[in-house]
Structure 1
Amino acid sequence: MTDYLSSGSLPDEYQQLAKAVRDFAQTVVAPVAAEHDANHTFPYEVVAGMAELGLFGLPFPEEYGGQGGDYFALCLALEELGKVDQSVAITLEAGVSLGAMPIYRFGNEAQKQEWLPQLTSGKALAAFGLTEPGAGSDAGGTRTTAKQDGGDWIINGNKQFITNSGTDITRLVTVTAVTGEKENGTKEISTILVPTSTPGFTAEPAYNKVGWNASDTHPLTFQDVRVPQENLLGERGRGYANFLRILDEGRIAIAALSVGAAQGCVDESVKYAKEREAFGKPIGANQAIAFKIARMEVRAHVARTAYYDAAALMLAGKPFKKQASIAKLIASEAAMDNARDATQIFGGYGFMNEYPVARHYRDSKILEIGEGTTEVQLMLIAREAGL
C-alpha cells in the first residue's frame, strides 16, 4: 500500500469500490438522510442496500459469507458514506468493526460458522458492549459480572452508548464482564456472546442525541442473563486486551469516516461558494472564503494520508497502534473544524438542519469522543513515543 500512498493512485479494485459506494451514497443515502435525521429513525432501507452491495462483508473471507477484501476496503466505503451521512457510516462501521470483527478475530470455528454468515450478509447486526456508566477507557471500573453456574454464565449489569444494539435486525451483543479476580488482585475481564433474544436482556429506550440521529444507540440491561459456557469469546481473562486490539483497528475506521465528513464539508462548501452571490459576485471569489475552504481541503488531505498510513501498517502486519491514534486524532479534529467552517460559510443556511453541513456540525463532535477520546489518543501517542 505504501506505493500508492505516495503516488495518490489507488489500484483499480479499490477505485471501483469507492465509486460504487459513492454512487450509492449520492443516489440512495443522500435523498433520505435529512428525513431520517429529523425523525430519529433507523434507515432500514439504506442498510438493506448496503447489504446488497456486500459492504458488511468487505473485510471477511468468502468462507464466512464475506467479500474476501481487507480492512482498507472497509475504510474506503466508510469515507464515501461519511461524506453524505455519518449515521449510515457509523452503522456500517459498528456492524463490521465492533460487531462482527471480534468474532472473526477471537471466536472459535463453531462461533464463526454460527454468527459470521448472518453478520457479513447484513441481514443481522451485532453490537459491542464495552462502555458502562462508570467504565469505558477505565477497565477497572467494569461492574458487569458473569458468574458460572453449572454449564452456564449468568450475567448482570449495565452498558451504555451501545451502537446497533436495539434495531429489529440486532441479533447479538458481545459483552465485557468481570469473570473473576487475577492473582494480582485486579479484575479478570472476559468477553461473552449474548444473543439479544436471551431472557433478561433489555435494550432500554434509545438516547435522544445531539447528532447521529439515524444511528441506533441504547443503554443495555442484563438481569440474570443466562447463556451457555461455550459463549465465552476468546480466552478467559483476555476480554479487555482483545477489545483493545479491536479498538486499535476501529480507530482507523473512525478516522476514515471522519475524513469523509471533513471532505463532505469541503465539497458542500465549494458548491455553495460558487452558487451563492453577495455584492454582485460569488462568495467564493472572496479571498476570505477561498482561503477558509483551502484550509479545509488541507485538513481532509492530511487526515486521509494519516489513515492510509495506519491501514498500510496494519495490513502489512506491522505495529500500528500509534499511527491509528494519530489518524483518529487528526481526522476527528479535521471533521469538527471543517464542519464549523462550513457552517460559517453557509451563514444562516448552515444553521438549518436540512442542510448537510448542519448535520455534520452536530454529528462530528462525537468523532472526538467515541472509540477513544482525543485525550486518550494523546495519552496513547505519548506512551508510544516513550513517555
Structure 2
Amino acid sequence: MFELTQDQKTLQNTVREWAQSELAPIAFELDKKAEFPTDLYLKMNRDIGVCAIPFKEEHGGLGLGILEMSLAIEELARADQTFALSAMVAVATGLTLQSFGSDMQKQEYLPGIVAGTAVGSIAGTEPQAGSWTAGFTTRADRKGDKWSISGEKAFITNSGTDITTYNLVAAVTSPKDAAKSKMSLFLVPAGTPGVTIGKSYDKLGWRSSDTHPIYLDGAEVGDEMMVGNEGDGRYIVHKTYQSARCFLSACALGLSQACLDHSIAYVNERQAFGRSLGGLQMIQKMIADMAVKVETSRLLARSAAMKADAGTASIYELAMAKYYCCESSSEVADLAVQVHGGYGFMNDCPVSRYARDTRITRIGDGSSQIQTMIIAKELGLDVTFT
C-alpha cells in the first residue's frame, strides 16, 4: 500500500541529494545566525523546484500531490527541519489561494509562491488565541468600499522576509454584538499601510525561520482581497491547518530519521568498554526504539498524505498522524541526545539542535492536546469545542 512509485522515488532522491549537499553542511550556521536564508531558498527552487510540486500545471506547478510534497519536506527536514518549515508554510499559503482564492489573487500572487521566488504567511494565531480560533479578536470593519483591519497576530512564520509578498490575515467580520462571531480571511499585501511587522522572535528552535508578531492598525484592503466568501474564514483556516498537518507530520518524520541516521553512525564509530557503543545492549535498545518510532511515523504520515490526495482523509487520521509523528519526534530526539552522551548536550552536535527544533511541532498547527481531543471526539467520546 505504501510502496512509492519510481517517479516518487526519483523525486525523493533528488530532494535528498540537494538537501544533503547544499543544506545539511550549513544547517549549524543557519541556526547560529538565526536569519532566514533567502538566497538558499531561491537556489533550491531554481535547482529542483520544490515549491512547484503540489500546484496545478495551469498555475506553473508540477501537478503532483500532498504525498509528493510531503516526501520533499521529509528530505528537507532530514537536513534542517527549520528550512523545511519555511517552505512548508509558503506552500500551504499558496494551496489556500489555489483552493479558495479568486482568479485575480491566483494570477497575481500564486506565481511567485509556485516558482519559489516569494513566500507568504498565514496570520491566524493571536497572543490570547491559537488553536481556539473562536477567541480571535482581530477585526475587519467595513468602511465604504474598504475593509479596515485592526488587531495583533503572534508567532507568524514567513511574515517579514525580504521576499514576503502577502500575509493571509484572519479577522472577525461579524457585528460586535453578534451571538457567535464569524471571521473572514484577507490577503494583505506586504507593505500595506497600517501593517507593522514586529521584531523577530528570539526562539529556542527553528531559529532560522522568519517569525514575527504582526500589528494591524486600520490596515485597509478592498473586497477583492477577501479570500473565499465573507464569514468563511474559520472554515478556510481549519482546512488549511488540516492539510498542513500532513506537511508537519513529514517535518517531524524527517528530523526523526536524521536523529536515527546520526545515532547509528555515532555508535558504530564510538568506542567504549573495549568495543563499539553499538555493541552494548542498552544502546541497541535505544536505537531499536528510535527505529520503531521512525517507521511507525512514516506509515501514519504517508497514509494521511495518500488519503488527502484521494480526498478520503478524515480529521481523525490527520490528527493521529500529526499527534504521533510530532510526539515521537521529540522522543526520538531525546533518545539521540542520550545515545550521544555528553557530546549530545553540546550545541555543535546536530542532535542537540534537533531536540530544540522539533519541540515546537507539538505546539504549532494545533497542539498535541488539541489533536488528542479531536481523536477522542472522533472515537465517540463526549468532547466539546467552543
Bin the TM-score by the shorter chain.
Answer: over 0.9
Can you list the C-alpha shifts for 1:23-54, whole angstroms capped at 9, x where unaligned?
A: 11110001111011011121123211221211
- From 187, 196, 199, the equivalent of 2:193 is 199
Amino acid at match of 2:44: M
- From 134, 144, 148, the equivalent of 2:128 is 134
1:84 touches 1:356 (CA, 8 Å); kept in 2?
no
* Deviation of the 1:228 alpha carbon: 1.4
1:65 touches 1:116 (CA, 8 Å); kept in 2?
no
Asked if 1:83 is matched to 2:81, the reply is no
CA 1:10–1:319 in structure 2 vs 1: closer, same or farther (change >3 Å)?
A: closer
Can you list the C-alpha shifts for 1:107-148, whole angstroms capped at 9, x where unaligned?
A: 111211111111111111000000001111112211111111
Q: Counterparts of 1:335 and 1:212 in 2: how far apart (Å)?
A: 14
Aligned pairs (5 A) from 1:278-297 = 278-297=272-291
Q: Which residue of 2 aligns with 1:304?
A: 298
Asked if 1:324 is matched to 2:311, the reply is no
Q: What residue ranges of structure 1 are gaps of 5+ in the alignment?
A: none
1:174 touches 1:192 (CA, 8 Å); kept in 2?
yes
Please give the root-mean-square deviation of Cα atoms over the aligned residues, in Å: 1.2
Q: Which residue of 2 aligns with 1:270?
A: 264
Can you list the C-alpha shifts for 1:221-247, whole angstroms capped at 9, x where unaligned?
A: 111111112101001101011111111
Amino acid at match of 1:131: T
Q: Counterparts of 2:202 and 2:91 in 1: how far apart (Å)?
A: 24
- From 33, 57, 60, the equivalent of 1:62 is 57
Amino acid at match of 2:59: Y
Amino acid at match of 1:229: D
Q: Counterparts of 1:290 and 1:252 in 2: how far apart (Å)?
A: 31
Q: Counterparts of 2:348 and 2:51 in 1: how far apart (Å)?
A: 28
CA 1:68–1:319 in structure 2 vs 1: closer, same or farther (change >3 Å)?
A: closer
Q: What secondary structure is seen at the aligned counterpart in 1 of 2:173?
A: strand
Q: Which residue of 1 aligns with 2:18?
A: 24
Q: Counterparts of 1:136 and 1:357 in 2: how far apart (Å)?
A: 29
Q: What secondary structure is seen at the aligned counterpart in 1 of 2:171?
A: strand
1:60 touches 1:69 (CA, 8 Å); kept in 2?
yes
Q: What residue ranges of structure 2 are gaps of 5+ in the alignment?
A: 382-386
What percentage of aligned pairs have identical amino acids? 38
* Deviation of the 1:184 alpha carbon: 6.5
CA 1:147–1:183 in structure 2 vs 1: closer, same or farther (change >3 Å)?
A: closer
CA 1:319–1:86 in structure 2 vs 1: closer, same or farther (change >3 Å)?
A: closer
Q: Which residue of 1 aligns with 2:365?
A: 371
Q: How many pairs does the alignment contain?
A: 380
Give the TM-score normalised by the residue count of structure 2: 0.96
